[in-house]
Amino acid sequence: MQFIKPGININFTGKRKIAFTISSFMILATIFLLVWRGGPNYGVDFSGGVLVQIKMAQKVSPSEIKKALALVDLQDSIVQEFGEAGQLEYLIRIRKTEVELSSLGDQVEKALKTGFGDKVEIRRVEMVGPKVGKDLRQKALFAIFYSILFIAIYISGRFELKWLMSIIMALCLAFVVYITSRFGISVTWLILIALIVTLTLCLFLNLKYALGAIIALIHDVIITLGFFALTEREVSLSIIAAFLTIVGYSLNDTIIVFDRIRENLRRFRRKPFEETMNQSINETLSRTILTSGTTLIVIIALFVLGGGVIHDFAFALLVGVVVGTYSSIFVASPILMIWEGRFGKKAQKKK
């Protein structure tokens, strides 16, 4: 199906500097927000505590609920409206990890029924210990990291037929992770070091397609996380699932563009690399718009009609699909062009 007429020639590569400026600004803004707020706003899944969802029979304010919770010394809990307007549902987040978590749910129910009567309905109570939350946070970070690593291995073998090089990169990375973990470095710094080593190995081993894909994926995850920091949304296990989904979706779009670039490079050997790349992006533009457009229709439906339980999940996908489509065109592909301009010409001169 041709959504865009054949022969269109939009100068995407000519706008790469503008795109890099926009991406750099969003990444720096994300880093600033995370530093300013002391890191991501972790949910109960990662920070430990109790999450209570309640339904009231009448309209009350979060401050009134906090006042009622003062009866059991939980007035410092975070209370917010949940779901669509008029549903009278509220989320109570309790992060008192120094007390017995198993009794907190009963304490909240008792305090609310004392303050508002028996018309209070407890919809759900989720409890996570602080040690479990820390372990889940570490595993979530490793899940994102290893997904990006295995993607780099696949891209290297799939597009550059360098399976041996990609396996060497994986072994080197496993060695670096093992050595650094022995020094008791935090998981966040451990993964940051591993990512830097991964990018360095891509440069050293001449894995240009893998380099472009990895930078684009890191770009997508960071900017999506930035939107969460900007809107003060919580990062939970479901959001990690959304991040992994974004990584897979963005990679799929990037592979489509990369595959066409590789085909055209074989067909038009004498054509300048920039023209070949721009032509390839234009040729896949119809498919990109159709795929992203139909996906966004479903995600918007989930975001608007899905209810509060999956609202943040749908928001992450909404941002991720838009950013992932953008990065496939304006981040991953221009990385190849920069590589070709700096290293490709040097290799030709040596020959």
**Which tens digit of pLDDT belongs to each residue from 329-346?**
898 888 888 877 665 554
Ordered by where they begin, the domains of the chain are: 13-42+132-350 (1.20.1640.10), 49-128 (3.30.70.3400)
Strand arrangement, sheet containing 89-94: 78-82, 89-94, 49-55, 121-128
- Please say whether the beta carbons of 247 and 146 come within 8 A: no
Stretch 298-318: mean pLDDT, rounded? 86
Stretch 23-40: mean pLDDT, rounded? 89
Reference 313, options 232, 242, 223, 231; nearest CA is 242
Stretch 162-188: mean pLDDT, rounded? 74
DSSP designation for 2: -
The pLDDT value recorded for residue 223 is 93
**Which tens digit of pLDDT belongs to each residue from 225-274?**
999 989 888 888 888 888 888 888 888 888 888 888 888 888 887 888 88
Band (pLDDT 50/70/90 cuts) for residue 85 is low
How crowded is the C-beta side of 237, counted as CA atoms within 13 Å?
A: 12
Whether 347 shows a pLDDT value over 60: the answer reads no
Global confidence as pTM? 0.79
Residue, of 71 and 281, whose pLDDT is higher: 281
**Which tens digit of pLDDT belongs to each residue from 93-132?**
776 555 555 566 677 777 877 777 767 777 777 776 666 6
Report the distance separating Cα 271 and Cα 277, nearest Å: 10
**Which tens digit of pLDDT belongs to each residue from 313-333?**
899 999 999 999 999 889 888
Stretch 302-306: mean pLDDT, rounded? 84
How crowded is the C-beta side of 214, counted as CA atoms within 13 Å?
A: 27
Q: Which residues pair with 125 in a beta bridge?
A: 52
